[in-house]
Structure 1
């Protein structure tokens, strides 16, 4: 059994709505919340089912495994497979919350998607990973072959239309709609807290991340947090939480991030903080187990370990000569590759991959 904090004074555990629970930081936040705080509530993801030609998406099976762990621990957590950006998806989730759990204590926003349809205008926005203002040229990690190697990447700057579209997909527009929808249904608990996960990262990757289209979306997210706190008008609070680097499906698709992460792992070794550890720190701060630590912009900071000056100086030395750096950081690159494989269920200890596995796993449905 998992060891958990005691229930609240009224004997209940927190009700959580977790948007984007099936991968990366969202999954870590789900599992850590279940394990440490016995959270109840609803997780939302949008994962493809099995067809005659292919298995289900990896997040489908991760959700099934998470539901099994929750059930074995006697925890009441439901999972909805729907487009969280859509009005119908919001209605389905809110109906379930109202029927089964009541008012929400925490809304965790961790959605990552390539496109979003605006529910008001019907416009379909597609996000892009591009620099702003000038082309981006930098080393990157090529892991398409058996042995990782350094390759170059060049990207042309985004247009204003592409910047705007990325903000609409990855910024705070949908987060705001969820908070408003909960408010309109009177589903906000006293002391309601909402958090959107974000990232800043190193100056080495800033031209493609923080100073690029993704960074523009993250700035929109941070502005939305301030606006939501004002909208809640003392009945709740909104934050962005700045996590540190991680190997996720989303981050592995961003040019240069893989090489940077391999170098960071080489420098830090086992001090590289897992998503689970960072999620545990976030929950401790949100629930009052640990002091809430925010920067001068009101953002919860979980990334001090990554941005420590000595750590960044050592990463910068490797980055200055990336091919020589990769020779020195071969273990970090191998670790990165192993992490990528594990995201999709490969290379796990204790798994016999010669044994036939059942792939027709149903989506965990609410029992009541």
Structure 2
């Protein structure tokens, strides 16, 4: 079948297997072109199929030669419906890893559940023995608690008072004003339950109790802080409340792992186009302006460049020392004063008529469609392709 992008709001309902495979290959080739990472041997990535999670798996495997287990919740193709992009990404990753003689396994299911945690532990015991790096990179709108059975739903809202600012329809290029009403106390509670640190700690607790965490094991989860313009909807909003909880848990886990020489971190990453960020009011316009400024200054990094820098310069530094701060800031180039001053200057002037001049709207759109395997270089999108792609080592 010929697969074309079909969008509904901030999501794309189709994905292209060849395009996803090409982009995984490009990330792999980037990592292989860099200096080798003196890093982990066996890595578990929870939330491994897209974005920073996928890039972490690629950096570990092709940068450090690590064996990997990826846990994710993606769907295979069915009838005329394509698989999700994460499914195709994972299939392509495993094929490339296998060609290099690396072990890689994929567990598809609800990472919040005890059943998937137990399945992962059994696989580690059987195939790898132990894990020395756990990457926690889940971005989910809902979570069912494995003990209480309560299902939580996250929201993207300010706290205490309504927030009004510019926003962008990146499909049409229209800039408008949006007002987001504040969250209720229960919405804040549920967002923390989904996006905070409780499940991360459950993973580490169960891995440690099962004896499959190696001595000196590291764990890292991902976060975002962003500029003042987005603070009401992000850092000071419901998501920010959840990320504060993530940082709290990082300190708890660090104390917990310290007895065996381990450590826990939260990495604050740069703003990038993801399906999640596309859904947050104000953020797509900010990212479009940010991209323009950072590209003009030669500072722009994509997902794999960020993760390679995280692994090589922070988690596994050449001098062998560990980060002293539990909060790793690889958003440092984004938050440079000269970058932010120029972004805010453009922000004040941005209107529908000048959005293409003052921002990188085309770059944003391209990155969005590339999330789903479209607009990849060298891919013939008029060719007939089979949407049914197997993940070689799905468990």
Query: How does the TM-score come out when normalised to structure 2?
Result: 0.87
Cα distance change, pair 298–186 in 1 and its aligned pair in 2 (3 A): same
1:359 aligns with 2:390: no
3-state SS of paired residue (1:311)? helix
1:260 aligns with 2:286: yes
Q: Distance in 2 between matches of 1:139 and 1:293?
A: 41
Cα distance change, pair 257–290 in 1 and its aligned pair in 2 (3 A): farther
Q: Distance in 2 between matches of 1:6 and 1:200?
A: 27
Q: Distance in 1 between matches of 2:321 and 2:331?
A: 14
**Cα deviation code 1:93-140 (max 9, x no counterpart):** 111011100111000000011100111111000001111111111111
Q: What residue in structure 2 maps to residue 203 of structure 1?
A: 228
3-state SS of paired residue (1:307)? coil
Write the mapping of 1:44-59 to structure 2, written as runs, cut at 5 A.
44-59=71-86
1:176 aligns with 2:204: no
Q: What residue in structure 2 maps to residue 311 of structure 1?
A: 339
Q: Distance in 2 between matches of 1:363 and 1:207?
A: 41
2:273 to 243, 247, 261: 247
Q: What residue in structure 2 maps to residue 215 of structure 1?
A: 240
Alpha-carbon distance, 1:298 to partner: 2.6
When structure 1 is superposed on structure 2, of 254-263 and 44-53 the one drifting more is 44-53
Is contact 2:168–2:285 with CA below 8 Å preserved after alignment? Answer: yes
Q: Distance in 1 between matches of 2:316 and 2:281?
A: 36
CA RMSD of aligned residues (A): 1.9
Q: Distance in 1 between matches of 2:87 and 2:145?
A: 25
1:349 to 377, 381, 384: 377
When structure 1 is superposed on structure 2, of 164-173 and 268-277 the one drifting more is 268-277
Is contact 1:24–1:249 with CA below 8 Å preserved after alignment? Answer: no
Q: What residue in structure 2 maps to residue 278 of structure 1?
A: 306
Give runs of ≥4 in structure 1 deviating > 3 Å: 1-8, 290-295
Q: Distance in 2 between matches of 1:301 and 1:6?
A: 19
Alpha-carbon distance, 1:144 to partner: 3.2
1:138 aligns with 2:161: no
Is contact 1:318–1:326 with CA below 8 Å preserved after alignment? Answer: no
**Structure 1: gaps (5+ residues):** none
Q: Distance in 2 between matches of 1:349 and 1:366?
A: 28
3-state SS of paired residue (2:58)? helix
**Cα deviation code 1:288-315 (max 9, x no counterpart):** 32676858x6301111100001100000
Cα distance change, pair 340–7 in 1 and its aligned pair in 2 (3 A): closer
Alpha-carbon distance, 1:242 to partner: 0.7
Q: Distance in 1 between matches of 2:180 and 2:319?
A: 42
3-state SS of paired residue (1:306)? coil
Q: What residue in structure 1 maps to residue 7 of structure 2?
A: none
Q: What residue in structure 2 maps to residue 322 of structure 1?
A: 350
Q: Distance in 2 between matches of 1:211 and 1:291?
A: 35
1:105 aligns with 2:136: no
Is contact 2:222–2:267 with CA below 8 Å preserved after alignment? Answer: yes
**Structure 2: gaps (5+ residues):** 1-28
Q: Distance in 2 between matches of 1:20 and 1:173?
A: 15
Is contact 2:108–2:394 with CA below 8 Å preserved after alignment? Answer: no
Alpha-carbon distance, 1:209 to partner: 0.6
**Cα deviation code 1:37-88 (max 9, x no counterpart):** 0111211110022222411111111111111111122211111111100011
3-state SS of paired residue (1:47)? coil
Q: Distance in 2 between matches of 1:100 and 1:309?
A: 48
Q: Tell me the matched-pair count.
A: 359
Is contact 2:264–2:326 with CA below 8 Å preserved after alignment? Answer: no
